[in-house]
């Protein structure tokens, strides 16, 4: 890091904004960057940037607010002046941290910034699946009036795949329904589990014992398709699966087969292996699938938090301070 400079810290520096609707969703964070003197190159579309979209800007940018667009070694090698990437959220699977460090690029994220939003959607999905809310809504709009027998949460066993911040919030929220809670996580916080009344068990036991399964694991090479045919075969016929984490954790082909055959009762997916999900995805043709658009983190409150923290982290890099939630160790000076 270098000594602080005089004048606006962002003067003469450009920030590439990856997320769509940034001005609408993160007005406070955007203002923070503008007030610091940065010029913003904002995503004008309704979809994440592709490599081709980013290519004209890479050589001129000094910082970036990252969404789900890819920041791999190839992209970073074309951005020699890029010194700060603030991830507008938690997941880092689209960012090559080692390549960023080699490029002299500081990468930060906002762990916990949208945890409550994601946890609340997961709980909402559980209730919707159990009581067939989406099915009833669809049918009544189509002129069909019928009675649907759902299932209560009370007395059921919730299985959490992963026991990080979001999973712990789900456990706290769902405990009011008098459910039993089990979780699988090789790095589980034993004290947190004890405080929440959560039993830590092996992954296979979660899949076999739970009536309700909610996935909250990071997507890594080791966890890719961890919810596969073998894991799904362990589930009870009345069990449901919720995924608000990352699409690559679930083998969609195996999930479709399990749902279509009645091997499991239902699934709710906020995340997909390929996004935006194709309308031709066979999962969308099943009545026992609840689908949303990777929107678990999308609340006014969450966007305000992550927008401000991300903007401040970028500013910190250029003022010579270490950004909050730094996730790599760049090998050269930031400036």
* pLDDT reported for residue 263: 98
Q: Which domains does the chain have, with CATH numbers?
A: 14-113+299-318 (3.40.50.720), 115-291 (3.40.50.720)
* pLDDT reported for residue 208: 99
Nearest-angstrom CA–CA distance, 3 and 158: 52
If 0-12 CB within 10 Å is exposed, 13-18 middle and 19+ buried, where does residue 4 land?
exposed
* pLDDT reported for residue 334: 43
Q: Residues of the chain whose pLDDT is less than 50?
A: 1-3, 334
Tokens 């406070």 locate to 28
* pLDDT reported for residue 123: 98
Q: Between 115-131 and 300-318, two packed helices, what is the crossing angle to 10 degrees?
A: 150
CB 67 within 8 A of CB 294: no
* pLDDT reported for residue 91: 86
What positions carry a catalytic annotation?
A: 246, 275, 294
* pLDDT reported for residue 147: 87
Structure tokens at 163: 């026991």
* pLDDT reported for residue 335: 52
Q: pTM for the whole thing?
A: 0.86
* pLDDT reported for residue 1: 46
Checking 164-167 for CB contacts under 8 A at 24+ apart, the result is: 164/216, 164/218, 165/111, 165/112, 165/115, 166/115, 166/118, 166/119, 166/122, 166/216, 166/244, 166/245, 167/214, 167/216
């Amino acid at each position: 890091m270098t000594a602080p400079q005089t004048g606006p810290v962002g003067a003469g520096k450009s920030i590439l904004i990856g997320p769509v609707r940034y001005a609408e969703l993160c007005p406070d964070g955007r203002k923070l960057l503008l007030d610091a003197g940065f010029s913003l190159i904002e995503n004008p579309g309704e979809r994440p940037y592709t490599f081709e979209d980013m290519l004209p800007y890479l050589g001129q940018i000094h910082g970036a607010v990252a969404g789900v667009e890819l920041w791999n070694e190839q992209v970073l090698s074309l951005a020699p002046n890029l010194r700060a990437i603030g991830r507008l959220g938690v997941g880092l699977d689209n960012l090559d941290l080692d390549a960023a460090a080699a490029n002299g690029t500081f990468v930060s994220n906002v762990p916990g910034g949208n945890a409550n939003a994601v946890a609340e959607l997961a709980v909402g999905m559980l209730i919707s699946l159990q009581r067939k809310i989406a099915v009833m809504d669809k049918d009544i709009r189509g002129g069909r009036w019928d009675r649907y027998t759902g299932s209560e949460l009370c007395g059921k066993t919730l299985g959490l795949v992963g026991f990080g911040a979001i999973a712990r919030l789900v456990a706290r929220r769902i405990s009011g329904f008098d459910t039993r809670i089990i979780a699988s996580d090789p790095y589980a916080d034993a004290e947190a589990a004890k405080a929440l009344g959560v039993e830590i068990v092996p992954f296979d036991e979660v899949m076999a014992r739970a009536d309700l399964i909610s996935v909250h694991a990071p997507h890594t090479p080791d966890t890719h398709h961890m919810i596969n045919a073998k894991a799904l075969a362990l589930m009870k016929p009345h069990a449901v699966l919720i995924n608000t984490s990352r699409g690559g954790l679930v083998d969609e082909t195996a999930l479709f087969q399990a749902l279509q055959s009645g091997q499991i009762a239902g699934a709710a997916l906020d995340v997909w292996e390929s996004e935006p999900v194709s309308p031709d995805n066979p999962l969308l043709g099943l009545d026992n699938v609840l689908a949303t658009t990777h929107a678990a983190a999308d609340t006014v409150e969450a966007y305000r938090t992550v927008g401000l923290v991300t903007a401040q982290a970028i500013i910190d890099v250029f003022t010579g301070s270490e950004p909050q939630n730094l996730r790599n160790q760049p090998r050269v000076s930031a400036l």
